[in-house]
Amino acid sequence: MENFEFVSPTHFVFGHDAEAQVGTKLAERGATRVLLHYGGKSAQESGLLDRIRESLAQAGVAVVELGGVRPNPEITLVREGVRLCKEHQVDWVLAVGGGSVVDSAKAIAVGAPADVDVWHFYETKEQTDDILPIAVVLTIPAAGSEASKNAVVSNDELGMKTGYANNAQRPKLAFLNPELTFTLPPFQTAAGLTDMFCHLLERFFDDVGAVPVTDNLNLSLMKTIRAEAPRVLADPENYDARANIMWTGMLCHQGLAGVGRHEDWATHGLEHELSAFDTSITHGAGLAVLFPAWMEFVCDANPARFAFYGREVFGLVPTGDVQADALSAIDETRAFFASLGMPVTLTELGLTEETLEEAIDFMLPTLRINKGEPFGSFKPLTMEDAAAIYRMAL
């Protein structure tokens, strides 16, 4: 097991009507004026925002609002949030939504106290402890951003999508009510399940040997996702299935599932460039396409690790041929994503041989900036390797 540091400051309020406690919990922590940050129409039309406004009003907490967060959140709206926080002396940022809203809220919380443009932190990765406290009402379990140290933001002007990691931006409060996820469309549910599963794959496959305590937690979470995925897609209002998925999604990216390991994160880097090239591509869908391609490309570095994964997660029976067992595990991974309704080729996402080459020319320069070269820990990759993986995924 490698040396590690682990921080987990998030206070979770989980279960039926968890969001009703927003005002009370924030007031207890000294909040006087919050930025209520959200995405599109669903939170408003469902009545969720009205319930949260009422909870805050009853607790005497003033509200400044900023909606309009898109998937793959963009720096322009973040800058507007920073401006509002400075102008109105906001002391908490409250995100209502999924990972995109939470990541946008984190960026605002980082930028609001700063005397430099918020993009500076994403560009330089400079650490700061001067960050507004963040609370989350989660509506889409997927990214795990409700408890993680990470946030990813796009800069359309620069054609970049990049992340910023800082333990000080982990949310202080997270309200998780599985009922809020009942009306998620099947595709969004499936994309979230895929993202969770890939968070675990990024941690399970690296250059560190066995770390049993971490590996067994990781494998257990993978098996939970596999078990609950068909239940929730068949019965979207199954509270227990939604609850298991919501809590699993947090555990997949909180950091606990990777302690003592180096972690890889090559595939997330590849996907971030893909969805920066085409912002209509859902992150989970991009991962469903790219992860099996990455697996096939790097498998020869440690086929026994893949074979072990196949036995533990998919119940594959060893054949005595480790390479064949590893490839079977990759096939099962691709089939699992397909069973959720996810695409498994870039062609399904609208790319052709010609447009893929255009995309590669667009993606590799910013991939080099974001990830460096080589990148990844399971098998260090060059830009030529990255291009090969994209082509394998077509």
Which band of pLDDT confidence, cut at 50, 70 and 90, is reported for residue 46? confident
Which band of pLDDT confidence, cut at 50, 70 and 90, is reported for residue 5? confident
Where helices occur in 1-98 by DSSP H, the ranges are 22-28, 42-45, 48-58, 75-88
Reported as a single tens digit per residue, the pLDDT across 337-380 is: 999 999 999 999 999 999 999 999 999 999 999 999 999 999 99
Sheet hosting strand 92-97, strand order edge to edge: 11-14, 173-176, 134-138, 92-97, 33-38, 62-66
Q: What are phi and psi of 80, to 5 degrees?
A: -65, -40
CATH class of the domain at 186-392: mainly alpha
Residue 251 CA from chain centroid, whole number: 11
Give the DSSP letter string of 306-344: HHHHHHHHH-PPP-S-HHHHHHHHHHHHHHHHHHTT---
135-150 average pLDDT score: 94
Structure confidence at residue 40 (pLDDT): 80
Percent of the chain with pLDDT over 90: 94
Q: What are phi and psi of 263, to 5 degrees?
A: 70, 160
Which band of pLDDT confidence, cut at 50, 70 and 90, is reported for residue 150? very high
Domain ranges of the chain: 11-181, 186-392
Amino acid in position 257: A
Domain 11-181: give its CATH architecture: 3-Layer(aba) Sandwich (3.40)
pTM: 0.93
30-51 average pLDDT score: 92
Structure confidence at residue 170 (pLDDT): 97
Q: Please determine, for residue 317, whether its predicted confidence score (pLDDT) is greater than 90.
A: yes
φ/ψ region of 386 (left if φ > 0, alpha if ψ in -120 to 50, else beta) reads alpha
Encode burial over 12-28: b for 16+ CB neighbours within 10 A, e otherwise. Answer: bbeeeebbbbbbebbbe
Structure confidence at residue 41 (pLDDT): 79
